[in-house]
Amino acid sequence: MCSNNECCLDLLSTEEDTMKSFALLSAIVALAAASPFAYPRQPLCNANAEACNTKYSNISYIGTHNSAFVGDRDDPRVNQEQSVTQQLDAGIHFLQAQTHKDVWGTLSMCHTDCWLMDAGSLENYLSTVKSWMDDHPNALITMLLGNGDNVDVTEFADAFDRANLKHYAFIPPTSPEKLEIEDWPTLGEMIGDGTRLVMFLDYGADEMKVPYIMPEFKYFFETPYSTDDLDQCKIDRPSDATADGRMYIVNHVLSEEITDDLIIPEEDAISDTNAATGPGSIGAHVKLCHEVHDRTPNFVLVDFFNRGDWLPAQQAMNDFIR
């Protein structure tokens, strides 16, 4: 407390000087942050800085098998418990699903057949992905769709147009010729170019008609569908193919056959199947396939991704030196 006017004036002057100094310092900090010579923040690609400098063909991700078929895991028709948006929020960057035409002729997300489970139109599914990508500008998503009714690829393109998703799609610079495995750009380059959706169709793709929808088996091979196969790292599709020059997808799902047309997840074993390590785990399957093919799989598909340790398994697959 001041005892006289002179003391109070001195104190007031000191406080004013302090405020002016603080304002000047704040302005300097703001200018430094805006300066082109300021120390840049390290960019993130799919929430990982190291991934930015990794070629697309050299990175590995866990993916959601039948991502569109969501519900209670006691329902034998479903393969995931969390919505597509929740899958992406959790860090999934590879989505796989089946398509069929419903009774009205709409291309839809149907499990085996639309009478069994219809999860809505392909357009709505793509719109969900588009909305998520709009909100996550540093994310790159890969999508693999099954063309169960052998629909012309232009019908898929129509759904992409209506969902306003096409502008995110990556087109190989060599299209329609194959982009060789060693020539893929890095994630950072693809994200920087805004081509952050990599789209594959299992059957019926025609890059002369739709250059951004690539034929799966031109670029990948797949292992057998279920992990109970005795040779679970062999090339199952395409038949009579070699691994040379192809990326690959491991189907890490343990299934039981209900009918000839209906195979469902063995959900009682899901915690062990989706574990990072141990017998029958993601890690064990990846290790076995690495020994067979001398490289790590690019994608590993799982059911009920939220049960188990998929994220540590994914981290173990990526050492960013491959």
179 confidence band (pLDDT: 50, 70, 90):
very high
Cα gap 62→311, rounded to integer Å? 8
Cβ atoms of 67 and 122 closer than 8 Å: no
Residue 316 has pLDDT above 90, yes or no: yes
Q: Which of 62-66, 109-113, 252-256, 313-317 has the lowest mean pLDDT?
A: 252-256
Give this prediction's pTM: 0.85
Residue 219 has pLDDT above 80, yes or no: yes
Instruction: Give the DSSP per-residue string, 9-56.
Output: HHHHHHHHHHHHHHHHHHHHHHHHHHSTTSPPPPP-BTTBTGGGGSBG
28 confidence band (pLDDT: 50, 70, 90):
very low
Tell me what pLDDT residue 32 has.
44
**Max avg pLDDT among 12-16, 90-94, 228-232:** 90-94
Cα gap 201→144, rounded to integer Å? 6
Tell me what pLDDT residue 87 has.
98
Residue 261 has pLDDT above 50, yes or no: yes
Tell me what pLDDT residue 35 has.
44
**C-beta neighbour count of 76 within 10 angstroms:** 15
Q: Which of 104-108, 239-243, 295-299 has the lowest mean pLDDT?
A: 239-243
Active site residue ranges: 65, 111
Mean pLDDT rounded to a whole number for the chain: 87
Q: Which of 73-82, 120-129, 207-216 has the lowest mean pLDDT?
A: 73-82
pLDDT tens digits, one per residue of 37-93: 444 455 799 999 999 999 999 999 999 999 999 999 788 889 999 999 999 999 999
Residue 266 has pLDDT above 90, yes or no: no
Residue 7 has pLDDT above 80, yes or no: no
Locate 170 and state its tokens: 């990556």
213 confidence band (pLDDT: 50, 70, 90):
very high
Q: Are strands 197-201 and 141-147 parallel, antiparallel or unpaired?
A: parallel
Provide the 3-class DSSP secondary structure of residue 246: coil
Tell me what pLDDT residue 110 has.
97
Nearest to 198 by CA among 206, 210, 190, 208: 190
Residue 322 has pLDDT above 80, yes or no: no
Q: Can you tell me the mean pLDDT for 138-149?
A: 98
Q: Can you tell me the mean pLDDT for 266-285?
A: 89
11 confidence band (pLDDT: 50, 70, 90):
very low
Tell me what pLDDT residue 39 has.
43
Residue 29 has pLDDT above 60, yes or no: no
Q: Can you tell me the mean pLDDT for 1-12?
A: 51
Kindly report the length of the chain.
Answer: 322
